[in-house]
């Protein structure tokens, strides 16, 4: 009985902490959702599902379709004419639950900071988190769904979002 009680308590605590960790990123998004310095974009899974149904002869599109069909959603928070980009970057960085995400890439080039994390279960990557901080720019991008790292960089061509070009770095790293 005691064992069962502790198992249940452990499970409950585990589930609660996982939710709390996810909430940290969501809260960060929500915190700036109405801030006019930021552009907020949310692409729902339904749009990815619809896009994946489009059939054309275009080979590029067919490659992108393979990526898009398993995507669950995309959230982007961008600010490109701010003065506290690096401070925001550091604030967002402190909110990333590092025990839940594994770091994929880190770049620091002069004033530019780029970090990417993935969250996986088994062999499947469930979330890709991208954080970019420059003195005048800040980007937080979160892809969810089943993500193929070999193919996700191809999305940088179709996403006209600041910071999405950083996805190309995955390809560079892998090569």
Partner 1 sequence: MKTIQFFIAIFLTANAVQAQDYGLYWKYKDHDGAIAVSVPRWATFAGSAFIDEKADRKLVRKIRKARVLFFEDASPFSQRDLKKFVRKSKRRGLDELVTVRSGKTHVRVLAKSRNSTIKKIVVLFSSPEGAGLVTVKGRFRLDEINRVIEKSNKEGKKKDGDPKIPNLPKVPVIRA
Tell me: does residue 2 bind partner 1 (CB under 8 A): no
Smallest gap from Cβ 109 to partner 1, in A, equals 23
| Residue 120 β-bridge partners | 125
Tell me: does residue 57 bind partner 1 (CB under 8 A): no
CA dihedral over 82, 166, 68, 19, signed as positive or negative = negative
Smallest gap from Cβ 140 to partner 1, in A, equals 14
Tell me: does residue 116 bind partner 1 (CB under 8 A): no
Contact 30, 92 (CB under 8 A): no
Tell me: does residue 68 bind partner 1 (CB under 8 A): yes
DSSP tag of 71: E
Alpha helices, DSSP H, located in 1-129: 2-32, 45-52, 59-68, 85-95
Tell me: does residue 60 bind partner 1 (CB under 8 A): yes
* Helix or strand run (H / E) with residue 56: none
Sites of contact with partner 1 (CB under 8 A): 33-34, 36, 39-44, 46-48, 50-51, 53-56, 58, 60-61, 64, 68, 74, 76, 157-162, 164
């Amino acid at each position: 009985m005691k064992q069962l009680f502790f198992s249940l308590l452990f499970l409950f605590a585990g589930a609660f902490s996982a939710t709390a960790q996810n909430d940290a990123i969501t809260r960060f998004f929500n915190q700036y959702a109405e801030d006019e310095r930021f552009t907020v974009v949310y692409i729902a899974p339904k749009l990815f599902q619809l896009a994946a149904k489009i059939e054309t002869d275009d080979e590029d599109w067919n490659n992108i379709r393979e990526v898009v069909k398993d995507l669950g959603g995309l959230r982007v928070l961008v600010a490109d004419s701010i003065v506290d980009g690096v401070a925001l970057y550091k604030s967002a960085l402190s909110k990333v639950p590092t025990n839940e995400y594994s770091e994929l890439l880190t770049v620091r080039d002069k004033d530019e900071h780029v970090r990417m994390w993935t969250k996986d279960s088994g062999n499947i990557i469930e979330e890709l988190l991208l954080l970019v901080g420059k003195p005048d720019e800040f980007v937080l991008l979160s892809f969810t769904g089943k993500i193929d790292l070999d193919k996700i960089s191809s999305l940088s061509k179709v996403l006209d979002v600041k910071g999405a070009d950083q996805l190309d770095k995955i390809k560079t790293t892998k090569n």
